[in-house]
Amino acid sequence: MADDDASQQPAAALPVAAFFDIDKTLVNGASLLFVARAARSLGIVPLKDLARFGWQALRFRRTGERLSMLESARTRGMQLLAGQSAERVHDLAQTVMGHIRSRVWPETRALLEEHLDAGHEVWLISATPDFLAQAIAEELGATGGIGSGLEVRDGVFTGALQGPTMHGPEKARAAEELMLARGCDPKDCYAYSDSINDLPLLTAVGTPVAINPDRALAAHARRAGWRSLRLDPASIRAERRRVRAAAKAAG
């Protein structure tokens, strides 16, 4: 009889993951520039490198992500962190958060919190260094942060890169591996981004959403029938209601 009762119980709902890009999706600006500013204030980065990062950030804001730009900025940034202890880099992350905190879009943050309230896992996924992705995730109460890996030996950053930049197809690969490991059904999961470069990530889930999209992503979203949000209260409220309704329907 007990076996019959157990067989009639509804199956437990699978976990749902929501993936958020960081730069220009959650944060107004380029996180690498905030890293450079914080590193400068801690005496890690010379002024000439801060100027270089500022120029790259300006290009980023005008033209969007380009892999060559990201690779160049990340490579130089990691060279500057060579020899820094993990404790020192932790201090850097906290200083960066002082710069970033006021630059988080309140509308996107509200959407992130709606997913958490719905019982979803929320993962930030970005080309930014992994220590910063994790720090931002902790600040926002997200489940975790996935960024570009940095090599650490004996508690010291070597200045070497660990794996490829978390960009384009790499984001999709990381998200797919995470969904598999967590037991998620991709068709129930969400992804949010502003960039056409995140098309692989967006197509890896059942609910892709463009936020503040660049021209190419906005055009693709129209053709594909995806939701495309501008950061205005009405648009975000409607998306939060959709998330809430989907969670309720899933039990």
List the chain domain ranges.
14-249
Lookup result for tokens 């999209």: 213
- Model pLDDT, residue 50: 46
The vertex-49 CA angle with 83 and 100, nearest 5°, equals 85
% pLDDT > 90, the chain:
47
Cβ distance 8 to 35 under 8 Å? no
Cβ atoms within 10 Å of 73's Cβ, excluding its own: 23
Residue 55 is encoded by which pair of tokens? 């120029």
- Model pLDDT, residue 120: 97
- Model pLDDT, residue 58: 47
Can you tell me the mean pLDDT for 67-80? 58
Class (C level, CATH) for 14-249: alpha beta
**pLDDT tens profile 8-34:** 555 568 999 999 999 989 998 877 777
- Model pLDDT, residue 181: 97
23 is catalytic: yes
**Dihedral sign, CA of 241, 243, 245, 247?**
negative
154 is catalytic: no
**C-alpha to C-alpha distance for 109 and 104, rounded to whole angstroms:** 7
Find the catalytic residue in 4, 21, 49, 91.
21
44-48, 131-135, 154-158, 171-175: range with highest mean pLDDT: 171-175
Average pLDDT, rounded, for the chain: 82
Find the catalytic residue in 3, 4, 5, 23.
23
CB proximity list for 115: less than 8 A, separation 6 or greater:
18, 122, 190, 243
- Kindly give the pairing relationship between strand 207-211 and strand 227-229: parallel
DSSP H helices, 82-128, are 86-100, 106-117
**pLDDT tens profile 90-132:** 788 888 888 888 899 999 999 999 999 999 999 999 988 888 8
**pLDDT tens profile 181-223:** 999 999 999 999 999 999 999 999 999 999 999 999 999 999 9
CB proximity list for 18: less than 8 A, separation 6 or greater:
112, 115, 120, 121, 122, 123, 189, 190, 191, 192
Residue 16 DSSP class: -
> pLDDT band at residue 235, thresholds of 50, 70 and 90?
confident
